[in-house]
Amino acid sequence: MQKNRVAFIADADSPSAKAIAKRLADLGMSLVLNSPSCGERIGQDVKALQDQGAKIQIVTSPLTSTQAVKGVLNEIIERFGRLDVLIHNIDVLQPTSIEACDESLYADLIDQNVKTAFLCTQIMGAQMAVHQHGKIIYVSSIHDEKPTGSSFPYALAKGAVKMLCKEAALDLGRDGVTVNLIEMGPVDGDNVKFASPISSVYEHYDHKIPSVVMGTYDDLAELVGFMAVFRSNFLNGADVRLDGGFTLHYMDHKMRETPVMEA
């Protein structure tokens, strides 16, 4: 159990957050949930965790300015006195092409996906460094390497976060703070999310996973839970691909047609 540990989740309203929050609460951590909806979209989930004994604080911040992130950190310190784990899971995508993307959309996607990661790492990582321990985990995407064919600023942003992870691991690792990244692969609905006029990557995408078993946010939460505990101290600067082998696929006519059955 990780009692007295405090974890911050950057986008508590996102699909990944429900599973991550539950896993960290099960580990005994207190949670600070940044909810763009001011808690409206996660009210039932928060109540369920609180009924199980979890200590939860809800904050609301865009995290796109130094002032905003410092404000959130001050709230965390005032309530809990410390911050041990930062989960950056902001994942904003809008379809656009290089030819059609206007400057404001490009800037917005970079700000939400990259600038928030940088500022949280800089400001919250500095607080962890003072105490000589901490965990920073970026929930990213396989599209930090693989083009989407649907939103080039999204892929560009994820690639930037991947390098931020490595630079931060080198820097903050000197002060006992580990920094790692998860390259999340396909989950249900990603064929719609990444629908592309020029790429067939997500056509029959479930069959492009060797086992034909789709990943879930519970799978993600298990990996986040491992990275967030202090038994994983030797893991630093890693980018772990969690995709069931999806990105290894290259021959459609060799795809398995039926899922692997659990024993």
pLDDT tens-digit readout, 183-222: 999 999 999 999 999 999 999 999 999 999 999 999 999 9
Is the model's pLDDT at 138 over the cut of 70?
yes
Stated pTM of the model: 0.95
What confidence score (pLDDT) does residue 261 get? 72
- Region 86-108 average pLDDT: 97
Q: CA–CA separation, 122 vs 38, rounded Å?
A: 24
- CA angle, residues 125, 127, 128, in degrees to nearest 5: 65
Is the model's pLDDT at 7 over the cut of 70?
yes
Catalogue all structural domains in the chain, each as residue range(s) with its CATH number. 6-254 (3.40.50.720)
What confidence score (pLDDT) does residue 63 get? 98
The mean pLDDT value of the chain amounts to: 95
Percent share of the chain, pLDDT over 70: 97
Q: CA–CA separation, 46 vs 54, rounded Å?
A: 9
Q: CA–CA separation, 15 vs 209, rounded Å?
A: 21
Q: CA–CA separation, 76 vs 72, rounded Å?
A: 6
